[in-house]
Amino acid sequence: MAKIPSSSLEKLKELTNSISLELVFAEAGKDAGLLPLNNLFGQLEEHVAADWPEALTSGFGSFRALIDRVFENGGNFDATTITQLNGWVQWLVRCWDNLGLQQALPAHPQFGAPASTPAPVMLAAPTSVDLPEEPLVMNIESDGDLIREFTNESHEHLQNVELGILRMEENPNDKDTINSMFRAFHTFKGGSGFLNLKPINQLAHELESLLDLARKDVLVIDAEVINVILTGGDILAQFVTEIELQLVGTKPLQPFVVATRPLIARVHAIMNRGPSKAAAPVVAAPVPVNVVQMPPPAPTPVAAATPAPVSAGKPSQAQAGDAAAGGAGATSIKVDTVKLDSLIDLVGEMVIAQSLVSQHPDIKSIQNQQFIRNLSQLVRITNELQKTAMSLRMVPVRGTFQKMQRLVRDVAVKSGKQVELVTVGEETELDRTITEEISDPLVHMIRNSVDHGIEKPDDRIKKGKAPVGKVTLSAFHQGGSIVIQIQDDGAGLNKERILRKAVENGIIQPGQQLEDKDIFALIFAAGFSTAEVVTDLSGRGVGMDVVRRNIEKLRGKIEIQSTPDKGSIFTISLPLTLAIIDGMIVGVGHHRYIIPTLSVRESFRPTPEMLSTVQQRGEIVNVRGRISPLVRLHEVFGVQPQSTDPTQSIVIVIESGNDHRCLMVDHLIGKQEVVIKSLGETFKANKALAGAAILGDGRVGLIVDVDSLVKLKAAPIQKAA
């Protein structure tokens, strides 16, 4: 058995987990999750090597057949297919576990004919070139964002096809290249089918079928096949270019035609020539790729330029340039994230080194004006470089939020409800990795808020509510975290039903007393039956354990607040990684701590009259009539302060949301922008720390997690260390 590298195995487990999450959304008679499932499985296939166990690779064919069956049946799931897909994922999870332990693989589920059985050769019906071309019609109003995403991804797939063709000329039997091209056309087929782009879907399906015969060694790859595939890539590229021109407004929004039937006829002719016949290497005549603008209802073809002949499977220089450029108006390039992270780390180290040099006593003693000006220029440029480098991975959360608009609309229409989605803080920037990873949990939670949290109009009116429900999706910075909230004004969570279900499943003991937040957290347990949760808990337990795991992978946390008939609030707190914060540097004894300035309201030296205790336990400070608990920072971290008398110290009022605390420190040192550094495993368990930073004097400062400090109870403050 070939040994799978541990890094590859972890990636495969991550993809399998994402597939499992998408399957949570699958419902009979609906298409939710189909396109993401298809894309995730394509990524899974990319990691499968030819020398892996046949028992594993053959099982992949079962999943591909199931997904294809959904596409072929109109794009909607059925109950049987959903059950089979879930069974396949469970089998795959067991496979990864066994591979990690070097144990034999379990037999994969049989859904119809075994994947190892050679499929019969399906000959294509002849296509008449004289049939009218079907125009491509787009629904920009509802699918605009998805179509833009489809075209962006298409450039990469087209480039893979072109590069694959060049490799196949040198080695027509390269199975990895054939499989890579097959997956590219399969992704085209899935995406275009989901968006109802019929001409693209049909052409991609025919080219995929052609490559499928080559994968099964039924078809010999020769010059004719290479030319057909390359021409097919050119036609798909023309579709994509035309779509982009309409999306950016260069051309008016209207149906258009790209000639595909001549090429499809050639594909069918090759497929029907039989498995044993290999055509002699010839240079195929080019197929006209004619774009015809078609204003409905009576389309009239107009002339378009015919592309230059393509010889021996090699694209012309212009075509290669177009494919590499990714279409007209491309303004971005793709960079390996490893290189990007390395660059950001190096810039951070350079900023630290520059700070150490500029604040060195010997350097500060130099009085040469020219040197001082040059040093100031260096500091300015370094700071600008730091900001630019750190922003490379930061993207507004706007794109992720906008995708939820379509989700809310579709779920509301299908469930017979009226729902308004309000987005707040779309300009808040997150690390791209966090943005990508948080998308799936957001989809699941918002879907539940609409489908199961918001009541139907008649029920809302009976409760005295407006018939239109509201879901608010917001993002903001809070202390040392980035917070994303999903709030709805629906029915809320039913604590009694949650407790009853938890007892039935053995998650808690009968009669066990829990606070509200602990009761709500039970929905994240992986023990709630799907059917029973949908009935008893408005569906909020379905897959929430997967949601929590995905958030915890980002070292984040999720909390729930809910009031019956008032609604629920899901709060996701994510740590600041690869980010710069503006911090207030404070001293406690010989130690330095950094408090995010966004969380600081004011600082002062208290008088004795402002201080008092509550039942001889917790200390409080009266700040202009507002009572705040006092937190001694030296007790939280177990360090020796300069003074234990608050009147000889500085008190900083920090706040998180509606809560606030008075933080006692020895003195204020200054204010500085610092680069966040992740803490090692030694400090990971300390929830009062959000990270660390190297200060200008070379010392390390610990970044305080304001949110955790604010949530400390007043009574046990002295034992917090």
pLDDT at 693: 83
For residues 45 and 78, the model is more confident at: 78
Q: Please check whether residues 360 and 477 belong to one and the same domain.
A: no
Residues 314 and 342 reside in one and the same domain: no
Whether residues 140 and 266 share a domain: the answer is: yes
User: What's the domain count of the chain?
Assistant: 4
**Of 353, 376, 392, which residue constitutes the final position of a domain?**
392
For residues 134 and 75, membership in a common domain is answered with yes
At 49, the pLDDT band (50, 70, 90 cuts) reads low
pLDDT category of residue 272 using cuts at 50, 70 and 90: confident
The average pLDDT across 153-169 equals 79
Name the phi and psi angles at 232, rounded to 5. -60, -40
Listed residue (412, 415, 540, 545) closest to 486, CA to CA: 540
**For the domain that residue 67 is a member of, what is the CATH number?**
1.20.120.160
Asked whether residue 331 is domain-assigned, the answer is: no
Tell me, yes or no, whether 634 and 702 share the same domain.
Answer: yes
The pLDDT-based confidence of 589 (bands split at 50, 70, 90) is very high
Question: Is there a single domain that holds both residue 96 and residue 115?
Answer: yes
288 pLDDT above the threshold of 70? no
254 and 375 housed in the same domain: no
- Say what percent of the chain tops pLDDT 90: 14
In a domain, 171, yes or no: yes
Q: Final residue of a domain: which of 349, 374, 392?
A: 392
Q: Examine residue 189 and state whether it is found in any structural domain, yes or no.
A: yes
The answer to whether position 330 is within a domain reads no
Q: What is the mean pLDDT of residues 144-153?
A: 83
Domain assignment of residue 555, yes or no: yes
pLDDT the model gives residue 405: 78
Q: What is the CATH number of the domain that holds 599?
A: 2.40.50.180
Specify whether 38 is located in the same domain as 171.
yes
Output the domain CATH number for residue 489: 3.30.565.10
Burial of 443 (0-12, 13-18, 19+ CB in 10 A): buried
Distances (CA, A) of 33 to 15, 27, 36, 101, 550: 14, 9, 5, 32, 17
- Residue 441's nearest CA partner among 334, 556, 286 is 556
Instruction: Tell me what the mean pLDDT of segment 233-240 comes to.
Output: 90
Same domain, 352 and 446: no
Q: How confident is the model at residue 182 (pLDDT cuts 50, 70, 90)?
A: confident
Q: Considering only residues 580 and 714, tell me which one the structure prediction assigns the higher pLDDT.
A: 580
Q: Which two tokens stand for residue 514?
A: 């829990």
Whether 121 shows a pLDDT value over 50: the answer reads no
Question: How far is the C-alpha of 136 from the C-alpha of 326, rounded, in Å?
Answer: 21
Express each pLDDT in 375-410 by its tens digit.
889 988 988 887 788 778 778 888 788 778 767 877
- Asked if the model's pLDDT at residue 325 lies above 50, the reply is no
Q: Does the structure show a pLDDT above 50 at 550?
A: yes
Choosing from 575, 600, 632, the residue where a domain stops is 575
* Any domain includes 332: no
Scanning the structure block, which residue is given the tokens 């008016």?
252
pLDDT (0 to 100) of residue 326: 39
Q: Are residues 31 and 57 in the same domain?
A: yes
Domain that holds residue 366: 337-392
Handedness of CA 585, 588, 593, 599 (dihedral sign): negative
d(CA 214, CA 179) in angstroms, rounded, equals 9
Q: Are residues 77 and 164 in the same domain?
A: yes
pLDDT of residue 569: 94
**Which pLDDT does position 489 carry in this prediction?**
93
Specify if 1 maps to a domain: no
Q: Residue 293 domain-assigned?
A: yes
352 plus 399 within the same structural domain = no
What's the rounded mean pLDDT across residues 237-256? 88
